[in-house]
Amino acid sequence: MSARAPFPSHPHPHPSGVVPDDATLVAQALAGNERAFASLYRRYARYVAGVAYRILGSDAELDDVVQEAFCDASNALASLKEGDSFRPWLARITVHRIHKRLARRRRWRWLQGEVTVVAPQVSDPRERARVDALYEQLDTLSADIRVPWMLHFIEGETLPDVARICAVSLATAKRRIAKATARIDGGLHATG
Amino acid sequence: MQPDDRMRDRSRLRTSIAPPPWDELREQRVLTRILEQRRAGQVASPSSSRARPVGWALAAACLCAVVALVFLGRGRLFPSSGAVATTSSPPAVSAPASSAGASGSTIALVDGSQVHLLREADVQVEEERPKHVRIAQSHGVVRYEVSHDPSREFTVRAANTTVRVRGTIFTVDVRASSVEVRVERGRVEVDDGARTHELVDGEALEVPNGAAALAAPADAAADDSPTAAVESAATVATPAPAAQAPSVAVGPSAASLQASADAARLSGNNAEAAASLEKLVRLYPSDPRVPNVLFTLGRVERARGNHAASARAFDRCFKAAPAGSLAEDAFAETAVSWSSAGRTAESRAQAGDYLTRWPVGPNAARMRDLLGP
């Protein structure tokens, strides 16, 4: 899924050669070490950008979403109980930001009466129509059901992880995914 | 479709979506903004709780106003751009350079074309129909990626210049005294009001105050080649003496060089990336991207194992913007690269200098390691 990174994910390893784990970096960042926070950022910025890109379907807001997610994370770092769970915690923050963006997009479209569909680039041009059709259906869904569906089927998260990231119960996550699936399949079937 | 087929279908869809267009330069740019916010204390200060009541009051007032406007004048105040067949005047989108986050944003058009607002950009989508898209650019630098559609006319109006395309990538830079059009790929037609010029890959045209001054590759050969045709048109259209014509850099635009470098790095071709970055700095030494580009060059050279070249690039980055957001990191990376190059004396001098300038800076521990016991 991901392109080969042009540089190592942790470009400034400690002189000893030991790459610190997330918990260590979180602790150092909490103590005011800016470099530790920057290391966390470099480790996960591409992950956050990927999730945002695929769910939003566009790179126009990517910089802002990544910035907002990491600013929120910086702000709330003290509330993170276990440093090891930084990635799912960050995913939750990212999803929260994406929710806001999708809601804003829907509001703006309603005001403008706009029907523009945004879809991401495809690896294989032959898949262009299918991906466009999918995002056309996704754009008809509310963020509440769109995001869990994307996390499960496109991001490959397990159902319990989807529930955790979306901050809902497992039953709710399953129900929302099922609802989205029915709407997407119905829409795709109707449009051929 | 059976459930198993659907699962396979979704799995295939997952792999069909391309990776995010996220590169080192973009990563660095966003990190710089985040760290600036952290240093300014904006991130840490929980202003939201105090500002919330005021914010809610403002939001409520705005909502009331918007609802009233929508019901009183929907269609007039918010003309629809989605109703493709009837759209005549979609809203303006502008991105002044001072607006954080707005510069670098993209407008996605219905036909798949993308309008990238690069710097101080101010554009208005005047018309967006299946057979005709018309954009007015009044200021700044904008890069257009126009999807190929021979049946649709796509025009960009900038001052007295009109650019017509079918499918291409080009940049329009509207300045106080001129409009510059640069073509990265494809073919465009530029109408300066007096003449029509055709530009192809790599060519650029500057139109100052109604007269056209042309920059095209100097090695145009045959008279019937596209380049020669453009040169000929320019000769006719430029009555002003050459000495008075504004100088135009020959070659690819800064944006296209940056894009080439990003693409080369993503494909692992660091030599080509370094060449593109160097070329960008050489052709556009006063471009605001230069410090970022030099920092990236330092890392590219390091990835290539050229540690001395890396040190020099980081040093140039620092000198290009000694008070910039990358200055401190560039200074430290210079010391690290000198060390990797085996130039211990330079490395130690640089590390010592760093500790004098930033005794408790984020790189202080690394610099002390370089100085040794």
pLDDT band at B250 (very low <50, low <70, confident <90, very high): very low
B358 CB burial (10 A radius; 0-12, 13-18, 19+): middle
Cα B274 from Cα A13, distance rounded (Å): 23
Instruction: With a cut of 60, say whether residue B98 has pLDDT above it.
Output: no
CA-closest candidate to residue A100, choices A36, A56, A53: A56
Contact A38 B18 (CB under 8 A): no
- Per the CB < 8 A criterion, the answer to whether B211 and B239 are in contact is yes
C-alpha A171, offset from chain centre: 21
Contact A153 B27 (CB under 8 A): no
Residue of chain A nearest B48, judged by CA positions: A75
B191 or A171, which is more confident? A171
Least confident of A100-104, B79-83, B140-144, B313-317: B79-83
pLDDT band at A171 (very low <50, low <70, confident <90, very high): very high
C-alpha A89, offset from chain centre: 11
B264 or B337, which is more confident? B337
**SS3 (DSSP) at B139:** strand
Cα A94 from Cα A190, distance rounded (Å): 33
CA torsion A190-A173-A74-A43 (nearest 10°) is -70
Select from A2, A9, A10, A70 the residue whose CB has the most chain B CBs within 10 Å, as the one to mutate to test that interface. Answer: A70
**SS3 (DSSP) at B290:** helix
Instruction: With a cut of 50, say whether residue A52 has pLDDT above it.
Output: yes
Domain range list for chain A: 22-191
Q: Which of A49, A58, A131 sits opposite B108 (nearest CB)?
A: A58
Contact A112 B91 (CB under 8 A): yes
Cα A98 from Cα B34, distance rounded (Å): 18
Interface ipTM:
0.83
CA-closest candidate to residue A118, choices A55, A48, A65: A55
Q: What percent of chain B has pLDDT over 90?
A: 6
Contact A70 B35 (CB under 8 A): no
- Predicted TM-score (pTM) of the model is 0.44
CA-closest candidate to residue B106, choices A108, A63, A54: A63
Instruction: Give the type of residue at B89.
Output: S
In Å, how far is A154's CA from the nearest CA of chain B? 5
Cα A120 from Cα B343, distance rounded (Å): 46
Cα A55 from Cα A119, distance rounded (Å): 9
What value does the mean pLDDT of chain A take?
A: 82
What CATH number labels A22-191? 1.10.1740.10
**SS3 (DSSP) at A117:** coil
B233 is written with which tokens?
């048109």
What value does the mean pLDDT of chain B take?
A: 70
B104 vs A: CB within 8 A: yes
